[in-house]
Amino acid sequence: MSFTEIAVIDIAQLTSREGPEIGPGEAVVAHAISEAASGVGFFYVTGHGIPNAMVETMFAEARRFFDRSLAEKSTFHIRHSPVHRGYFPIFEENTDPTFTADLKEGFDLGRDLGPEDPGVRRGLPLHGPNQWPANAPEFRAAATVYFAALSDLAARLMRGFAIALELEPTFFADKIDQPLAQLRLLHYPPQTGYIDTRTIGCGAHTDYGCLTILAQDVNGGLQVRNPVGDWIAAPPLPGAFVINLGDQMERWTNGRFLATPHRVINVSGRERYSMPFFFDPNWDAEIACLANCVAPGEAPRYEPVQAGPYLQSRFDATFTYRQEPGNPTNQG
């Protein structure tokens, strides 16, 4: 079925409890999530408990960083990180590389892991320290607090997904306890006049992992493609995050929950900023079709994949620096 709007779900009753009991109101929230995840693949959440001041502080630090000169920002270029962390300039990432060039710059952060971390000791790609902007302690402090808050929110949502899928509420817990989580700060210059869809803020794509939690400024620009090919606006709503599902959740659920194509075109005439938080499973997690998502006699639509290598393969396909001769992409 097609859609023309995106649901708003109050998740205040979705708890962060770790036990198997489903709390009062959680089933109602999970039902709403199931409807949105299976019909659209996108929804807004309110009642999430993250103070608006925390979000605005992170936006302010992002704007302050992007106001630096290109030369200064480039000292933290993502190619300098063996674990895919840092700054990338306009046209570095192209999410639909066969068709579009992405008119955006960004800064990627992950779990800030030291040498004692088990994944670092194993030499796993995408595991390691962040590159932090120099002379910006407020940036680091704001990002650390914000990253932790969104990680907690993502775990709550994964619990909601489990309940929605009629699994044990803790089903995903051991698959996301060392997540490949990434906070991305993005800046989109305005586009005016004729818009050539081969160069837009962010080309049409689906996200790669489990779920994305998006904070966007007041300028809008996010569009979601429905099944008949229409682009539906997902404008910012005060106090709400946009949630969407990624490829790995679609694979896990055999297409019951949707990874829906979306894009960004900034026609506001102003600078646009957004902050997607990608919450993806542990590196070793196997993404294989859930038994209760396959009807009798039906075959799974997707072959099993390992979460980490799948994510890494998408970075390899969409970041130009990872395609440069001699670039050690096998390091992360």
Residue 328 is predicted with a pLDDT of 58
| Mode of pairing for the β-strands spanning 42-46 and 8-10 | parallel
pTM: 0.96
> What is the CATH architecture of 8-331?
Sandwich (2.60)
pLDDT tens by residue, 12-26? 999 877 778 898 899
Answer yes or no: is pLDDT of 329 > 70. Answer: no
Mean pLDDT value of segment 197-220 = 95
> In this predicted model, what pLDDT tens digit does every residue of 153-171 receive, in sequence order?
999 999 999 999 999 999 9
The predicted structure's pLDDT at residue 147: 98
> Would you state the pLDDT for residue 19?
76
The pLDDT, as a whole number, for residue 20 is: 81
164 neighbors 29 (Cβ within 8 angstroms): no
Give the whole-angstrom CA distance, residue 330 versus residue 191: 36
Q: Any idea which of 17-31, 41-55, 71-85, 254-268 has the lowest mean pLDDT?
A: 17-31
**Per mean pLDDT, which range of 139-153, 224-238, 313-327 is the poorest?**
313-327
**What pLDDT is recorded for position 196?**
85
> How many C-beta atoms lie closer than 10 Å to residue 69's C-beta?
7
- Mean pLDDT computed over 210-217: 98
Arithmetic mean of pLDDT, 38-58: 98
pLDDT at residue 330 tops 50 = no
Check residue 1 and give its pLDDT.
63
Res. 331 pLDDT band, cuts 50 70 90: very low
Q: For the residues 141-146, what does the mean pLDDT come to?
A: 98
pLDDT band (50, 70, 90) for residue 124: very high
Residue 2 has pLDDT above 70, yes or no: yes
Work out the mean pLDDT of the chain and round it to a whole number: 95
Question: pLDDT band at residue 195, thresholds of 50, 70 and 90?
Answer: confident
Half-sphere exposure of 273 (CA within 13 A, CB side): 16
Specify the pLDDT at position 21. Answer: 86
Q: Which helix (H) or strand (E) holds 160?
A: helix 137-164
Q: Which residue has the tokens 């698959």?
A: 175
Amino acid 332: pLDDT: 45
Nearest CA to 305 among 256, 252, 253, 245?
252
**Cβ count within 10 A of residue 224:** 21
* φ, ψ for residue 317, nearest 5 deg: -80, -20
| Extents of the domains making up the chain | 8-331
Here the tokens at position 205 are 């794509």
pLDDT, tens digit, 9 for 90 and up, residues 272-306: 999 999 999 999 999 999 999 998 889 999 999 99
